[in-house]
Amino acid sequence: MSIKDNLMKARGSLVFLVGLTIAFGTVFTLEQWKPAAVVEVAQPKVELVKEATIRTHESRELTAQELKYAKVAWQYFENNTDPQTGLVNSVDQYPASTLWDTSSYLLGLISAHRLDIVDAAAFNSRMNNALDTLATLPLFDDLLPNKSYSTKDASMVTYDNSVTTRGIGWSAIDMGRVLVPFHVLAWHYPEFTPKVRKVLNSWDLAAIVRDSQMVGAAVDDTGSTIYLQEGRLGYEEYAAKSLALTGMDLSFALDYEAYLEYVKVSDVNVGTDLRTPDKFDALNMVVSEPYVLDGLEFGWDRYSRSLAYAVYQAQEARYEETGILTAVSEDNIDEAPYFVYNTVYAAGKPWNAVTEDGTDASEFRSVSTKAVFGLHVLYNTPYTTKLMDSIKSNFDAEKGWYSGIYEASGETNTAITANTNGIILEALHYVQYGPLLRLSQSSTIASADD
């Protein structure tokens, strides 16, 4: 096919890509520029680390062992994809999913395809099926996707998987995450751009943004819709990056310094969020996940690189102090309360483990499998090698990777999830190809044949 034919075939995609390029430039500009009002306020500043302090990523082929790890992760999606809707269960054999989990699937699918685990025919079939369903989802208040859907028929459900015709609200953070695979598709697989556009055209993205911040929706006790600012340090900026690539103004949500303060955790200055739950009705969890995802997907900016490194350093320092291997994140667990935030810092306490409502869950503190993979491929230190050695057999070859290992008992957290297995595939993709979304690769994707 000639260059002219390629350009004609991809012309619709190119228009979309030009828009994304402009949006990328906007985000980059926001990273470099701070208005005088922000500079003059007595706010703590991000303690920037030199790039030389952190190992520079050098892409390489996966080893045979790493390829085996990737195939184990992909097995989860083979087992948990509904053939009718193309959606994937958030937890093994549990027929419901959030947009966050759908994002983990789509990014895992892209990673598995690029690692030659999924062939082109299966990739195209799976991606088309998922996008077709996403374009026809029933929406909360006819605006945006509900927080949870049945994977069997794509109906709106509550978090306990009960059908709801109204829905329970939307998550701006989840919306930000699902836009990451959409942008990857637009850059690397422009043949899917019309379907991505169809999905986005069915959603009212403008409803997510107020005063340059992200807004989620919920239903109160009277049945009325309420709107709440969403996102705390780490998660907020991560989700805002992909939303900003659509051209929306999220300059405040992208400002790492707006609510930043440092606390000492294991003698490391760790960035935390000033918005405390007593005033803002949301916990400010410091965990590995948003920083790991930022590195694997975007390649970090100068702020997230520094904040991420401090989060990593604190975990290594805890191991040096106590001898306890530490790699913490949010995770499903295999017994009630079923979901726990294992944190570096939360609600005023270092190494706090809590449920979403702040209930103590310290007995479930664990080494997170997905955090180990992410930290190891991003930093590759003697400490992360020890972490990998501790979890390298933490899987069922027929089902996928387990979520972690409980710190107190040393027993396996046998929950198996889309998020854990999707992030593992992203991490192994990073080893071979680097971040999933890089402008430096844009020149290779103009052809719809790529």
- Give domain limits for the chain: 3-444
Q: What are phi and psi of 34, to 5 degrees?
A: -130, 125
Stretch 316-344: mean pLDDT: 97
Share of the chain above pLDDT 70, in %: 87
> Please, which pLDDT band fits residue 429 given cuts at 50, 70 and 90?
very high
- Sort strands 260-265 and 268-273 into parallel, antiparallel or unpaired: antiparallel
Instruction: Evaluate whether 193 touches 12 at the Cβ level (below 8 Å).
Output: yes
Lowest mean pLDDT among 116-125, 237-246, 273-282: 273-282
Q: What are phi and psi of 96, to 5 degrees?
A: -150, 160
Positive or negative torsion for Cα 415, 412, 342, 305 = negative
Q: How is residue 52 written in tokens?
A: 């030389």
Look at residue 259 in the predicted model and tell me its pLDDT. Answer: 93
Instruction: Evaluate whether 130 touches 136 at the Cβ level (below 8 Å).
Output: no
Instruction: Give the residue, 21 or 229, on which the prediction is more confident.
Output: 229
Amino acid residing at 182: F
> Please, which pLDDT band fits residue 345 given cuts at 50, 70 and 90?
very high
**Under CATH, which architecture does the 3-444 domain have?**
Alpha/alpha barrel (1.50)
Nearest C-alpha neighbor of 277 from the set 337, 207, 367, 341: 341
Positive or negative torsion for Cα 48, 270, 29, 423 = positive
Q: pLDDT tens digit string along 213-227?
A: 999 999 999 999 999
Instruction: Evaluate whether 215 touches 240 at the Cβ level (below 8 Å).
Output: no
What's 446's DSSP letter?
A: S
Q: How is residue 270 written in tokens?
A: 């760790």
Whether the per-residue pLDDT at 250 is higher than 90: the answer is: yes
Specify the pTM.
0.89
Stretch 66-71: mean pLDDT: 98
Task: Give ∠ CA 294-198-248 in degrees, rounded to 5.
Answer: 45
Secondary structure E strands in 124-212: 139-140, 144-145, 149-150, 169-170, 209-210
Q: First vs last Cα of the chain: how many Å apart?
A: 12
| Number of residues that make up the chain | 450
Look at residue 52 in the predicted model and tell me its pLDDT. Answer: 65
Look at residue 406 in the predicted model and tell me its pLDDT. Answer: 98
For the chain, helix (H) and strand (E) counts, in that order, are 15, 19
Whether the per-residue pLDDT at 36 is higher than 50: the answer is: no
> Please, which pLDDT band fits residue 9 given cuts at 50, 70 and 90?
very low
Q: Is 450 helix (H, G, I), strand (E, B) or coil?
A: coil
Place of tokens 């027993």: 411
**DSSP string across 408-443:** TT--EEEEEBHHHHHHHHHHHHHHHH--S--GGGGG
Look at residue 129 in the predicted model and tell me its pLDDT. Answer: 98
